[in-house]
Amino acid sequence: MTAEELQSLISAHLPCEHIQVAGDGRHWEAVIVSPEFEGKRLIQRHQRVYATLGARMHTDEVHALSMKTFTPAEWAAAQTH
């Protein structure tokens, strides 16, 4: 799997204002900004992203995914620092 494929999978099932994915084909890092994260705790945000990947997480197609998740407001605030 490529970074572009993983990015497409996530953004196809989660509205993203910004998404950035990098990795080596098994271990991935992602920055995801979505209005769906509003009012959700960190674990709920991560579960929502994992849900977009479905069986790919269980079949080891995506071995590890480290995430930084933001609401649009959180992302805007982070960009000013």
Given this model, what pLDDT does residue 41 score? 97
Nearest to 24 by CA among 55, 63, 57: 63
Given this model, what pLDDT does residue 75 score? 97
Q: At what angle do helices 42-53 and 3-13 cross, to 10 degrees?
A: 110
pLDDT digits (tens, 9 = 90+) for 5-62: 999 999 999 999 999 999 988 889 999 999 999 999 999 999 999 999 888 877 877 8
Nearest to 31 by CA among 52, 12, 5, 49: 49
Given this model, what pLDDT does residue 26 score? 82
Token digits for 24? 């080596």
Given this model, what pLDDT does residue 59 score? 81
Indicate the length of the chain as a whole number. Answer: 81
Segments making up each domain of the chain, as ranges:
3-79
CATH number for the domain whose boundaries are 3-79: 3.30.300.90
